[in-house]
Structure 1
Amino acid sequence: MVEHVLVAPDKFKGSLTAAEVAARVSAGLGVSTVELPVADGGDGTVDAAVACGFTRVTREVTGPTGTPVTASYAFLPAAHGDAGPPAVAVVELAEASGLRRLPGGPEPLTATSRGTGELVADAVRRGARRIVLGLGGSASTDGGAGMVQALGARLLDAGGQELGAGGAALRELARIDLSGFADLSGVEFVVASDVDNPLLGPHGAAAVYGPQKGATPGDVAVLEAALGRLAAVATQTHGLVGAVEHDGVPRPMGVAGAPGAGAAGGVGFAALAFLRAEIRPGIEYLLDLLRFDEQVKGARLVVTGEGSLDGQSLRGKAPVGVAQAAAKAGVPVVAVCGRRTLTDEELRAAGIEAAYALTDIEPDPARCMAEAGPLLERLAARVAADRLS
């Protein structure tokens, strides 16, 4: 059996998709490769699933400002009838409700996650019995209110009127009516996210991520109060106080305090509270979904990577997740990237033997972005000379 190189990179943000990175690296290596584009639950998660055999399903849904957008999710039908794996859908929040879907500037107080709920509803109608929610790149801080409204929940003020879109409107929330909520019995929800922030407080959705979505300090205060109101009403009316299992340990905390509840502007909270989702580390779960353990068998080297190898990479990003998974199979790992700030010691501690950066062969960052594909092929040729000769 001819040993292969497993090429399992994330995207180079702003330059190449994960699939394009994998293709360029394979071309530069000049040896037998298996391409497995990966993602950690953020932008590019649907693309990675499609590259691994899922079907892309495209729908027109509500964008973050209410303007219709065309968004996709990935779908894999059930195999071998009732005895096989269930139908799986991968829904990436950024596809419908992400910052890149804003038609103009940010709308921190009124942006909605409704489009994500519309994609979930479509996947359920299609027969999905396991839905993976990739949370990242959100434009809204609405606590997932828009998502659950799209699934049939009614969020009402004291006069019984439906609330408008966005996080700020939640300050007027008095009652949540789930009488028309979608029948999700038999559907398993998994949130793929490495964010461990709670919903509220100095480390919560509004305080930490609100400014990234254009929120001023005054806006952050408004959103914090609104999310607190959502948590209070949901707790009072739907019995959401109790032990939340995290890392296998039941802990006495409300859902709002659970690690990951603050993900994607609080969509993590809605997933836990209304979808009864399980939160899993993004790259770990997606590698399982993409059958990494099967693809790495027989490999002599794994090449992973992302646009910037830096301190954030060490916090559950794709290259480190790939390196940890490859280590279990005893296969060495190197990384390619646009630039790197990690030391050799930090890389080795993360399970990466070496990193090759575009800036090693082209010092101009603008050219690295504009000519990432050809430069990446040249870089991969260096990897082959160093590691495969």
Structure 2
Amino acid sequence: MRIVIAPDSFKGSLSAAAVCAAVTAGVRRAAPAAEVVAVPMADGGEGTLDCFLSARGGDEIEVAAADPLGRPVKARYALSGDGRSAVVELAAASGLPLVEDVPLDPLGATTTGTGELIADAVRRGARDVLVCVGGSAGTDGGAGLLRALGVRFLDAAGGELPPGGAALARLAAIDTSGIPDEVRASRFRVACDVTSPLVGPSGAAAVFGPQKGATPAQVRELDAALTTFADVLAAHAGVRVHDLPGAGAAGGTCGGLIGVLGAEPAAGAALVAEAVRLPAALAGADLVITGEGRLDGQSAGGKVVSAVAALAKERGIPAVALAGGVAAPFDDLHALGLTAAFSLADGPRTLAELKAEAAPLLTVLAEQVVRLRV
């Protein structure tokens, strides 16, 4: 038997790699001679970089960058062994946890540090850059990131705008003449884990602004600023990102990357699957085991389980999901290709108990699943 293990992390409990290890132990109990291929997965948010390094190797690069408030921080990204591709997590330099020690600044927080990571990767030769957005501290439409790559954001008098999303309300023109040739020659892909548009009642500011400290008045201010940003982007590049699904990810960073650099957005888990070469790993597989912390009807919307199940279905491979919590309905997941789903809970347990015992429970459950196939 060839069994592929491709789970997401169990948030607050186990990393994706740790889930793979626990499941592998169970597989070995049931089928000692089985060929086991572990491919830790993620949906494009935190943990994606580690999945990339685990599955494909390469180098972990640490550089000095700016945090969301412009303070110095050390942040890392992944560079492939041949140096041609890179994976950059926005949260590494521009994430909300980096500013938990000070009052939040929803109007002025910036994504500049993420742009500095990308610039470093491109200088080293990367020409295929996967930007994993999620967990941002600001709502600047990716303007800080783009500024670090040579873009200028100008007011009506031709002056450079200060950092932060609120300043975009005064945006009159975008100057892209300073983008280096190597950046122009690069392919940018954006791993999004949400489908929010850039602006409006379900846009970046309205949905995620409060999480970043924005008051209702500041939410309205940021939404208006992002609307101006989108208007200027449309005039500059002919690309309308106002209501584009996913453009609101990471405070509108996805929209900015699409509008200025022609970035290709996609569901995070699907992009990660490609980046870690999951399709190749599935060749000749007899069973796929995936999973995540909680499995429910929303898991079909681009999460890891749905991406793995879809790939398995294309190849006629049974796909089983293991999760801490399992809640129906599963019609959409079954339609995508998921064969069955099982909860770790072996009786009445608190969430804290499930998290603490997740590894041994996964091992026991994986053994039982594989025994159905041997």
Q: Above 0.5 in TM-score?
A: yes
> Is residue 111–residue 143 contact of structure 2 (8 Å, CA) maintained in 1?
yes
2:72 maps to 68
In structure 2, relative to structure 1, the CA distance for the partners of 1:145 and 1:332 (3 Å cut) is same
2-structure distance, mates of 1:366, 1:106: 30
Aligned partner of 2:184 in structure 1 is 185
Equivalent position of 1:381 in the other structure: 367
Distance, in Å, in 2 between the alignment partners of 1:182 and 1:13 is: 39
Which of residues 284, 290, 295 is equivalent to 2:281? 295
Preserved CA contact (<8 Å) 2:297 2:330: no
1:354 aligns with 2:340: yes
Aligned AA for 2:215? T
2:41 counterpart SS class: coil
Cα distance in 2 for partners of 1:388, 1:197 equals: 41
* Other-structure match for 1:245: none
Whether 1:266 and 2:270 are equivalent positions in the alignment is no
**Number of the residue aligned with 1:82:** none
Structure 1 residue 362: Cα displacement? 5.8
In the alignment, structure 1 residue 199 sits paired with structure 2 residue 198: yes
2:353 corresponds to which of 361, 367, 377: 367
Q: Relative to structure 1, is the Cα distance of residues 388 and 221 closer, same or farther in structure 2, using a 3 angstrom cutoff?
A: same
- Partner amino acid, structure 2, of 1:27: A
Question: How far apart in 1 are the matches of 2:207 and 2:180?
Answer: 32
1:52 partner SS: helix
Taking the aligned partners of 2:200 and 2:159, their CA distance within structure 1 comes to 29
TM superposition score normalised by structure 2: 0.91
Which residue pairs with 1:17 in the alignment? 15
Shift of the 54–378 alpha-carbon distance from structure 1 to 2, 3 Å rule, reads: same
Task: Tell me which of 75, 90, 95 is aligned to 2:92.
Answer: 95
**Secondary structure of 1:359's aligned partner:** coil
- What is the 5 A alignment of 1:130-209? 130-183=128-181, 184-209=183-208
Following superposition, the deviation at residue 77 of structure 1 comes to: 4.0
Count, aligned residues: 366
**1:277–1:347 CA distance, 2 compared to 1 (3 A):** closer
Q: Which aligned runs of 4 or more in structure 1 are off by greater than 6 angstroms?
A: none
Q: Does 1:212 align with 2:216?
A: no
Contact 1:362 1:368 in 2 (8 A): no
% identity of equivalent residues: 48
Cα distance change, pair 211–361 in 1 and its aligned pair in 2 (3 A)? same
Counting only pairs closer than 5 Å after superposition, residues 235-314 of structure 1 correspond to structure 2 as: 235-236=234-235, 238=236, 240-241=237-238, 254-314=240-300
Q: 1:341 to 1:68 in 2, by over 3 A?
A: farther
**What do the CA deviations read for 1:324-351 (whole angstroms, capped 9, x no partner)?**
1011111101111111222354543342
Deviation at 1:15, TM superposition (A): 1.4
Structure 1 residue runs without a partner (length 5+): 79-85, 243-253
- The yes-or-no answer on 1:28 pairing with 2:26 is yes
1:359–1:365 Cα contact (<8 Å) kept: no
Which residue identity is paired with 1:88? S
Equivalences for residues 106-145 of structure 1 within 5 A: 106-145=104-143
- Select which of 39, 46, 52 maps to 2:49: 46
Flag the 1:345–1:315 CA change in 2: closer, same or farther, 3 A.
closer
How far has the Cα of 1:158 moved from its partner? 4.2
Aligned to 2:228: 229
Q: SS of the residue aligned with 1:191?
A: strand
Is this contact kept in 2: 1:347–1:354, CA < 8 A? no
Partner SS for 2:184: coil
Aligned with residue 37 of structure 1, among 21, 36, 40: 40
User: Partners of 1:159 and 1:103 in 2: how far apart?
Assistant: 36
C-alpha deviations, 1:292-342, integer Å up to 9, x for none? 222112222100011111233111101011001011111101111111222
CA shift for structure 1 position 361: 4.6
Report the secondary structure of 2:345's partner residue.
Answer: helix
Tell me, in whole angstroms, the C-alpha distance in 2 between the residues paired with 1:298 and 1:40.
24
Which stretch shows the higher mean deviation, 353-362 or 222-231?
353-362
2:153 aligned counterpart, secondary structure: strand
Q: Which of these residues, 5, 8, 25, is aligned with residue 6 of structure 2?
A: 8
Letter in 1 for 2:269: I
